Amino acid sequence: MKNLKWFVITILVIMLGAVIASCSSAPADTAADGEEAPAVVLTDAAVECIECHADETVGIVMDWDGSIHEKEGISCIDCHEVEESSPMALSGVEGHEDITVTVSMLVPPAVCGECHEDAVASFHESGHERAAVQYEGKDAMQTLINVHEGRGNPELSGAPDETGCQQCHGVTIVVDETGHPTPETYPSAGMGNVYPTGEIGNCTVCHSRHSFEISEARKPEACGGCHIGPDHPDIEIYENTKHGQIFMAEGEEWIWDSPSGEWEPGDYRAPTCATCHMSGIGDLEPTHNVTKRLYWNLWAKESKVRDDDDVMGIWYGDGEAGREEMKQVCGECHTTTHTEGYFASGDKAVQLYNIEYWAPVEAMRLDLAEAGLLKENPWEDGFMTLHYHIWHHDGRRARQGAMMGAPDWAHWHGFFMLQQKLNLATAIYELRMETGEIETAAPWSLSP
């Protein structure tokens, strides 16, 4: 293993030498239009970082080498350098005694925005912007995580949050007096990280460091790390669709690295998450506002058409405009008849959930609350547990499965489970209202 490490380091040093030599003495490359492209130049400080990290963190340098950033001369310093006064500025780092710049481990989206201005601006207009702020501000969610799941353990109760919620939603990152993030808030792979400077976001969730490839973010796996599981199984839903089946059969042969705004049908035979929600396809411009093309809110207790301009609001977006844009996406491959019929069926499923499942179970909850027939701890209450599963698990699966074309998730994982759990909730409701008491032996059970 030691021999392998030194072999890798030797190769990297040779490659770095070649880069430096080409930057300082070789003729400039020829651009596509026949003109000479400007030579890539790495500063002494950048070279110093690369040489050291080629030994200390080989994987980081190997990721960067050959990336678009390396080809454009974007080095460690360009992203990690900060003002000495920054709360994220590192101090007391072994090996940094002689470096001539101040650096931070943390790179917020504002740094990316110096080059990728439109992408970062549209990200801040998306639902991803509120990912951490929203769940951190919910008392019920924090009680579930720390008190019920964490069992109120004074030392360990944060584990469900640190290893679960934070890794998708993000977290408000706290740094110590040396600028290093605390173990309770770092590492975090969450989309909505809030930095000590107040900036929000995490581009590396989809464009993982330190290669930052556009091709990676276009594949469904980039979304599937978070959009997965019983409450939002979007990656499983995608795999159940005809689009997903084609991707799994042929995706390795597709073209994934076309420039932004130029990735069109022909590069691929079926869309991925990025195609429908983000890509510049047809006359549409690329966007990092993943909310922009959505009509319904499909994760809320009750689905409504989006009509709010507050990015922190649950009805954020312009649903009518979003539907028209999504139809444009569909229209690049499908007929108008196909597209209109598809959305008509999906809308019908959403309305069925709203009227026949959410409305009655919520009405029963209000009756039980007024009668004093709910337990103080909702997670020990059979009715409230079913109430939660109806909207947060089965109801989301039915709605999302229907709107994304996944029959098994719309039906068996969705409406079939909804009717079972509504029947159980109704039985508990009727028993409590008839007896005026909360049952001691619960006549209910939860299925997957």
Q: What is the pLDDT of residues 1-17, one digit of tens each?
A: 445 445 445 555 444 55
Is 391 in contact with 314 (CB distance < 8 Å)?
A: no
**pLDDT at 448 > cutoff 70:** no
Distance, CA of 36 to CA of 251 (rounded, Å): 36
C-alpha 96/C-alpha 109 separation (Å) is 25
* In the predicted structure, residue 266 carries a pLDDT above the cut 70: yes
Q: Which amino acid is at 47?
A: V
Q: What is the pLDDT of residue 309?
A: 93
Q: Provide the 3-class DSSP secondary structure of residue 316.
A: strand
Specify the pLDDT at position 180.
97
309 vs 329: CA distance, rounded Å? 23
What is the percent of the chain where pLDDT is above 90?
85
Tell me the average pLDDT across 342-366. 99
Is 70 exceeded by the pLDDT of residue 21?
no
The stretch 148-169 carries a mean pLDDT of 97
> Model pTM?
0.89
Distance in angstroms (rounded) separating the CA atoms of residues 448 and 445? 10
Residue type, 98: D
pLDDT level of residue 97 (50, 70, 90 thresholds)? confident
Categorize the per-residue pLDDT at 33 as very low, low, confident or very high, splitting at 50, 70 and 90.
low
Phi-psi sector, 27: left (phi>0), alpha (psi -120 to 50), beta: beta
Within 10 angstroms of residue 27's Cβ, the number of other Cβ atoms is: 8
Mean per-residue pLDDT over the chain, rounded:
92
Mean pLDDT of 94-98: 86
Say if residues 411 and 405 touch (Cβ distance below 8 Å): no
Q: Residues 421-428: what's their mean pLDDT?
A: 97
* Most confident option among 6-15, 39-48, 298-307: 298-307
pLDDT of residue 201: 98
Output the pLDDT for position 37: 57
Beta carbons within 8 Å of 190's beta carbon, 6+ residues apart: 131, 132, 166, 167, 168, 169, 170, 171, 202, 205
At residue 111, does pLDDT exceed 60? yes
Q: Is the pLDDT of residue 25 over 70?
A: no
Q: Which residue has the tokens 């678009």?
A: 68
pLDDT at 95: 86
Residue 40 has pLDDT above 90, yes or no: no
